[in-house]
């Protein structure tokens, strides 16, 4: 009896040990970076968040503004705190860019260029060249223009993933020569087209011009409807001003190179000439039957009219979300917000009315 009791006790102890080990095996998780104080978590990537990133950018800003003829890069530095509150300082170069805004603005739009090795493990990892849309002038109304332009990008994000993401900034500009500081100016960064292509498992398409038959019908229809919504006619998805680089205010992604039967996806950008933004310097291109950028003109292609009904439904489905973008943007002053909402409302009035829809869109397509 004594030996049998000892045997049963050993069996119970062994069983308890096995149960404990089994529990630990199936319930213990490997330590994450947050659990392991010896391992640093990588911050979120730049365009994975829509929150405003507070940055300080140091460079020869007085020279950049004054010397309009110099399109070469200037040395600079960007400083910010990442998602974990860690201070980050990165060297970069600052370069004037754009055409219309360089002529119209005292403070030009800027291209930021990075060393990919230096930005590893930071919010800017993977980036080497980014467009930054700036405040243009000191007057508040100019800042309102570019807040609306940023929201135009986000409106299109609601319509399709084939769109540029944006990241708002609050920028302190420090002149590296004088130490002069200009604080808290709105700006935003635009996702690089190579990154858009990568997240959609496609490539940038390098081509001088493209045929209508090579454009993806649904995405082209949605892009055309979006341009009508914000009243932007300053674009082309077929060719552009440069012989070897299609297109105008539109990037193409798809299989590279395009083969017979392949389709390219048009990705629009630069919306400051739209009626939604209604910038002081914006005028419609010559030769169009409109006198102001606020006059809507549908510039979609008739060959894709079969896609229009499905496209219309996409926009109607996102109507509430589009208005929410305007209503929830605290940087808009009430007058700007109300005008923008009213302007977008006129678009939805058109696509909800069968007669207006046929008159203003279906019959206005380009052959």
Which residues lie closer than 8 Å to 20 by C-beta, 6 or more apart? none
Q: What is the pLDDT of residue 244?
A: 82
Q: What is the pLDDT of residue 38?
A: 46
Mark 206-239 as b/e (b = at least 16 C-beta within 10 Å).
ebeebeeebbbbbbbbbbbbbbbbbbbbbbbbbb
pLDDT 10s digit of each residue in the chain, 367 long?
444 444 444 444 445 444 544 444 444 444 444 444 445 678 889 999 999 999 999 999 999 999 999 999 999 999 999 988 999 999 999 999 998 999 999 999 999 999 999 999 999 999 999 999 999 999 989 999 999 999 999 999 999 999 999 999 999 999 999 999 999 999 999 999 999 999 999 999 999 999 999 999 999 999 999 999 999 999 999 999 888 889 999 999 999 999 999 999 999 999 999 999 999 999 999 999 999 999 999 999 999 999 999 999 999 999 999 999 999 999 999 999 999 999 999 999 999 999 999 999 999 999 9
Q: What is the pLDDT of residue 84?
A: 86
Where exactly are the structural domains of the chain?
Answer: 46-192, 194-364
Residue 101 corresponds to which tokens in the numbers above? 């805004």
Q: What is the pLDDT of residue 128?
A: 96
Q: Write the DSSP assignment of 175-211 as a string of letters.
A: ETTT--EEEEEEEEEE--HHHHHHHTT-EE---S---
* Beta pairing class for 250-254 and 203-204: antiparallel
CA distance 310 to 52: 34
Place of tokens 């540029």: 164
Q: What is the pLDDT of residue 163?
A: 98
Q: What is the pLDDT of residue 142?
A: 94
CA distance 142 to 104: 11
Q: What is the pLDDT of residue 14?
A: 46
Q: What pTM value is reported for the model?
A: 0.89
Q: What is the pLDDT of residue 8?
A: 47
Which residues lie closer than 8 Å to 160 by C-beta, 6 or more apart? 219, 222, 223, 314
């Amino acid at each position: 009896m004594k030996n049998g009791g000892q045997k049963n006790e050993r069996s119970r102890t062994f069983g308890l040990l096995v149960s404990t080990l089994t529990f630990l095996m199936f319930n213990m998780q490997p330590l994450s970076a947050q659990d392991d104080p010896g391992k640093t978590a990588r911050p979120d990537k730049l365009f994975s968040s829509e929150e405003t990133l507070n940055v300080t950018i140091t460079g020869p800003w007085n020279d950049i503004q004054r010397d309009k003829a110099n399109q070469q890069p200037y040395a600079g530095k960007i400083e910010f705190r990442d998602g974990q509150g860690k201070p980050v300082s990165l060297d970069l170069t600052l370069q004037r860019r754009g055409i219309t805004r360089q002529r119209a603005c005292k403070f030009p739009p800027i291209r930021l260029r990075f060393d990919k090795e230096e930005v590893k493990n930071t919010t800017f990892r993977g980036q080497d060249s980014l467009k930054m849309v700036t405040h243009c002038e000191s007057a508040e109304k100019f800042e309102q223009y570019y807040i609306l332009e940023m929201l135009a990008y986000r409106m299109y994000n609601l319509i399709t993933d084939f769109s540029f993401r944006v990241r708002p900034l609050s920028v302190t500009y420090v002149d590296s020569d004088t130490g002069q500081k200009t604080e808290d100016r709105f700006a935003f960064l635009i996702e690089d087209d190579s990154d858009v292509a990568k997240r959609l498992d496609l490539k940038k398409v390098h081509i001088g011009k493209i045929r209508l038959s090579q454009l993806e019908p649904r995405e082209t229809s949605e892009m055309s409807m979006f341009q009508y919504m914000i009243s932007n006619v300053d674009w082309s998805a077929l060719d552009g001003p440069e012989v070897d680089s299609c297109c105008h205010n539109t990037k193409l992604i798809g299989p590279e190179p395009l083969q017979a039967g392949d389709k390219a996806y048009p990705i629009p950008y630069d919306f400051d000439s739209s009626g939604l933004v209604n910038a002081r310097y914006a005028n419609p291109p010559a030769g169009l039957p409109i006198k102001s950028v606020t006059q809507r003109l549908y510039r979609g292609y008739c060959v894709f009219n079969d896609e229009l009904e499905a496209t219309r439904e996409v926009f109607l489905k996102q109507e509430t979300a589009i208005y929410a973008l305007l209503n929830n943007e605290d940087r808009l002053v009430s007058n700007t917000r109300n005008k923008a909402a009213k302007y977008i409302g006129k678009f939805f009035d058109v696509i909800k009315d069968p007669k207006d829809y046929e008159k203003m869109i279906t019959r206005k397509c380009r052959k």
